[in-house]
Chain A
């Protein structure tokens, strides 16, 4: 992960990632008193809209706000991660042009910052979920491995978008336009049981299907995560991360000429 030209050890590389993530978070929350509040506002808006619009349509879904919120939490983690990681390289082009620092430090620190951000928002969201009927059970511990594989997938995908975006700046625009397609084809506001059989395959092509269903297993149904889904999710994460990492490493040679 560390470039041969760079003499940092693994210890100071990790330190660098933390310092950069800390900086990102600090900048995000510094200039607005309500900084923390803003990062929760977007998921809350989704929740509000869903509850008002869909709870009549999907009236037979038990504890609908809790059901929707589990999907929204993972969705906003996914969408903000991909966008912030993509921005991280371009935002730091000045640094990459004048200091010998491994480029991958920026996407990694952006990912770390968004995990910490998720951790912050989980506190109020857990309270909200308890109000909506969340039951505490030991299966909740599986949240951690599920988040881990989901992060692997998200980071891998982001590395692909990020490295291409350095060469073709409209990649970022293309991605933001593409995001709604992923959103509406993932079972966030609805359950896949409501989908006609012939379309179910289409829904399953969306990788988010697996991760959101896994999260729901433990948070909403209070049961062990589904084995098949967990396996698919893990394989997807490993494959995507490997591809993303290889592409990034291949393309990073030319980054400086593009800034």
Chain B
């Protein structure tokens, strides 16, 4: 008898779980439909110099949209902890958490990513992650000049525009980049535009733009 009761309770629990799962699934479906039906978006997002010059914003900085993320670069010395963005919306309102946001009025601390939620008239919503600074600009290497935004090369050639396990980089006051290209036994120099200027080492003086060196060395003009 006791066993029967246990089995009944177990069955009851399973039924309860299945039905609540179905209920949750249904609700999600309805919410998603609402999302799809009601237009809501942030259409532009700008940190203007007019409203933010006191924070070191010397010219207008526009947000770059990528799906639900908005990335903005502002001058290095700007105070990002108190900025007032200007934005345009499709939808009824926008909030951060529960706090309503007004274009050109509401100021926020943008030290880290902030999530703006746009609400449509039917109550459905869409999140945008806004980041100021902390933006990836690209990488150098891979056998050609320029800052690239594709996947990393994962090759170890010794032409002058590639790296073979460069473990350390240094930058001078003019923005030139010096890399210790360990696997290639050389020091490489690039300028801030992402142009390879050459490498030193290999047993002779001067910045070189050929492949090499052929091997490591122990003389005073080589690296090991």
| Same complex origin of A and B | no
